[in-house]
């Protein structure tokens, strides 16, 4: 094993050095070169639709083809089209003003590729979370090394074929392997490193990147709350809650992690959730549209949360009684009624079909609870009152805030995506992604006479007395 890992490390270093050499020789790919990369990637993605959907089905054990298309291919294609449409504008240098003392002169900011960007992608969306950041890095003119998840071997085969055909080794190197390989990967001296995954691993990645002073973008997750205001339409809330919580069986970094509702709303909300579940999945976990958990490790982790909660006296209800509670790697949606904060289900990101419901008697109580906890990647608010929206916008720091829906912010190609604090740092998607993977270099062009020369020493001349008197107006 040690020999194999050593060999993989050597291969990674060689691939990195080769891409670094290419980036140094060709520091500023043209607009046309970048557009060609995106166009070829678009064609390859379209050509590989069936292969990708079949591979995702195999890796997950079961995942409806329609769900994979909706969650992975549609937003990835939207990202490509948006980048192609706006890339010329993004690449354009931005003009800046110069100080009075510097005139005559001009100033601008040019957006230069950083060089070689490393990306570590997760297993839960193995297509979208590979291609999404890749699109931004390519648009910014970078070479990319991509570490994919070892839990999705069939999808990785198709992805390798896609990137080989569309980009080739001049633009991208794809790396496969386990956690040890990922650790070695994050120690390479990249010009930028993006990691998508858990907060605990994100700390390790950031520590490794610090060895080379590599700037990082961390897309982590955390516990994204769904707050139900007293004015909310509960039936509509339940519909959109089920949509956001059970797509991909809850294995989504921005899935609603827990619900906060008024104590008088709880029973009606739970009843509406049951109705929606029966409509979405009429045979419970046996329904063909219900996604499996990726592996037994994730299944056992979630079962452990349930067992711990029950042992502490927390009521846990299976809201999908029309089928078994679990079967073939599928776990029914369970509601946990008012679990205490010391339980693991309230400490960890759930990442599965478990839904704690907390109660409040006053909205301020709920807002204070959310405000005092680690900043989430997303917050969902259901309300009919603009004042509730204003309070959430001002009080709660979160990666995104979505009003009266769930999850749809991820598929908006013109909105940035990123966390804050424990839920991550940095942004990708849209223009902000292009900026993240670019170096914003200031360029100052001085022309004509040097006015500043008048301010040279000795400092006892009349000009300095004028500056001392009027500097606040300069």
Number of H-type helices and E-type strands within the chain: 17, 18
What's the CA dihedral at 422, 428, 431, 436 to 10 degrees?
80
**Residue 449 reports pLDDT greater than 90:** no
Out of 55-64, 380-389, 390-399, 441-450, pick the least confident: 441-450
d(Cα 131, Cα 255) in Å, to the nearest integer?
Answer: 20
**Residue 3 reports pLDDT greater than 50:** no
Q: Tell me, what's the pLDDT at 1?
A: 37
- Tokens 């633009």 locate to 171
Domains and CATH numbers, the chain: 2-220+424-440 (3.40.605.10), 225-411 (3.40.309.10)
Out of 9-13, 139-143, 285-289, 433-437, pick the least confident: 9-13
d(Cα 409, Cα 376) in Å, to the nearest integer?
Answer: 14
Put simply, whether the predicted model's pTM sits higher than 0.85 gets the answer yes
Q: Tell me, what's the pLDDT at 5?
A: 59
**Residue 455 reports pLDDT greater than 80:** no
The secondary structure of residue 356, as a DSSP letter, is E
What's the CA dihedral at 151, 67, 401, 367 to 10 degrees?
-80
Report yes or no: 281 and 289 within 8 Å, Cβ to Cβ: yes
**Positions marked catalytic:** 219, 253
Could you tell me what percent of the chain has a pLDDT over 90?
88
Helices within 211-325 (DSSP H only): 234-246, 266-280, 296-311
For the chain, percent helix, then strand, then coil, each to nearest 5?
50, 20, 35
Q: Tell me, what's the pLDDT at 100?
A: 82
Averaged pLDDT, 168-194: 95
Residues 217-258 have pLDDT tens digits of 999 988 999 999 999 999 999 999 999 999 999 999 999 999
d(Cα 190, Cα 119) in Å, to the nearest integer?
Answer: 10
Q: How many CB atoms lie within 10 A of CB 407?
A: 21
Residues 7-45 have pLDDT tens digits of 578 889 999 999 999 999 999 999 999 999 999 999 999
**Residue 439 reports pLDDT greater than 80:** yes
Averaged pLDDT, 183-206: 96
Residues 399-420 have pLDDT tens digits of 999 999 999 999 899 999 999 9
| Average confidence score pLDDT of the chain | 94
Q: Tell me, what's the pLDDT at 219?
A: 95
**Residue 362 reports pLDDT greater than 70:** yes
**Residue 2 reports pLDDT greater than 50:** no
């Amino acid at each position: 094993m040690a020999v194999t890992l050593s060999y993989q490390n050597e291969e990674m270093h060689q691939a990195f050095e080769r891409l670094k050499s290419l980036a140094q020789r060709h520091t500023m790919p043209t607009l046309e070169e970048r557009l060609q990369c995106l166009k070829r990637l678009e064609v390859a993605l379209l050509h590989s639709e069936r292969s990708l959907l079949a591979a995702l089905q195999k890796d997950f054990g079961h995942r409806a083809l329609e769900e994979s298309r909706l969650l992975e291919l549609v937003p990835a294609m939207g990202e490509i089209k948006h980048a192609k449409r706006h890339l010329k504008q993004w690449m354009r240098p931005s003009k800046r003003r110069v100080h009075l003392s510097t005139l005559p002169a001009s100033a601008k900011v040019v957006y230069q590729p950083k060089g070689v960007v490393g990306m570590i992608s997760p297993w839960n969306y193995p297509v979208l979370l590979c291609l999404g950041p890749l699109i931004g890095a390519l648009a910014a003119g970078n070479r990319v090394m991509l570490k994919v998840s070892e839990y999705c071997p069939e999808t990785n085969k198709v992805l390798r074929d896609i990137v080989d055909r569309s980009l080739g080794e001049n633009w991208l190197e794809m790396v496969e392997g386990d956690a040890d390989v990922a650790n070695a990967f994050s120690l390479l001296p990249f010009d930028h490193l993006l990691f998508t995954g858990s907060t605990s691993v994100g700390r390790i990645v950031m520590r490794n990147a610090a060895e080379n002073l590599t700037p990082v973008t961390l897309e982590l997750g955390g516990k994204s709350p769904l707050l139900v205001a007293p004015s909310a339409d509960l039936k509509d809330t339940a519909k959109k809650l089920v949509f956001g919580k059970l797509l991909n069986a809850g294995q989504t970094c921005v899935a609603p992690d827990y619900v906060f509702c008024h104590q008088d709303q709880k029973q009606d909300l739970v009843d509406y959730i049951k109705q929606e579940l029966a409509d979405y999945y009429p045979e419970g976990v046996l329904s063909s549209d219900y996604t499996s958990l990726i592996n037994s490790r994730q299944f056992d982790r979630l079962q452990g949360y349930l067992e711990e909660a029950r042992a502490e006296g927390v009521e846990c209800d299976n809201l999908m009684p029309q089928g078994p509670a679990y079967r073939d790697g599928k776990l029914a949606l369970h509601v946990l009624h008012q679990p205490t904060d010391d339980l693991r289900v309230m400490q960890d990101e759930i990442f599965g079909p478990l839904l704690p419901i907390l109660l409040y008697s006053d909205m301020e109580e709920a807002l204070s609870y959310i405000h005092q906890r680690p900043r989430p990647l997303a917050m969902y608010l259901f309300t009919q009152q603009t004042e509730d929206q204003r309070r959430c916008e001002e009080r709660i720091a979160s990666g995104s805030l979505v009003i009266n829906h769930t999850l749809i912010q991820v598929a908006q190609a013109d909105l940035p995506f990123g966390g804050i604090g424990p839920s991550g740092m940095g942004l990708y998607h849209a223009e902000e992604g292009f900026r993240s993977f670019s170096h914003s270099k200031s360029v100052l062009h001085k022309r004509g006479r040097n006015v500043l020369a008048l301010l040279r020493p000795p400092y006892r001349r009349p000009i300095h007395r004028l500056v001392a008197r009027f500097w606040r107006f300069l």
